Structure 1
Amino acid sequence: MGNSIKSAEFLMEARLSRAAYGSADDCFDLGVAYSCGTGDLPIDLVEAHKWFNLAALRGSEQGQSMRAEIAEEMTAREIAEAQRQARAVIAASQLRAA
């Protein structure tokens, strides 16, 4: 059991690192993971919205669709927080690229 948790944590860390600076697909995969509670993650709609938003900004139509779908289950405050977090990821990736 301990090894599977460590494996899941390693997988999520790798996805987080790639998604912050990577493809729409990586962002979308994280959105799915947080929206469904995949890999021992708790369901977190703010995190899911953030990653779907980043996927959408990188051209993912699925990201746009899923972002809209989970937004229906969120408060305005939660959506605002998810958007703030997405902007922070974008700013951090631009600093890193510079």
Structure 2
Amino acid sequence: MSRVKNLAELQAARAPAGARYAAAIAELRSALVDLEAIDQALICKNVSVLERNPLYRFRELPRTLAGLEHPEFAPLLRTSLREEIGAATRAYVEGLTS
């Protein structure tokens, strides 16, 4: 956070902050999907001998990232993460078992 001296500087700081937010949301979604898919693949009986270990899972996986929506910089975060995670998990498992 940088210090601004007037309203024009404050308004000018908004777009770069919004761009950083949009990039952070995209990275968060990508990392969340990847990590959960990897965790699911690691506990898959076709891949591993590990027991279903709760340490390999998020405590509570959100259905969407809708709570992080911003009307201008991140407006469409209501799509389900589960389908994306499922597809990524299948890709990891198939990559190891083929």
TM (normalized to structure 1)? 0.42
- Which structure: larger Rg? 2
As a proportion of its length, which structure holds more helix?
1
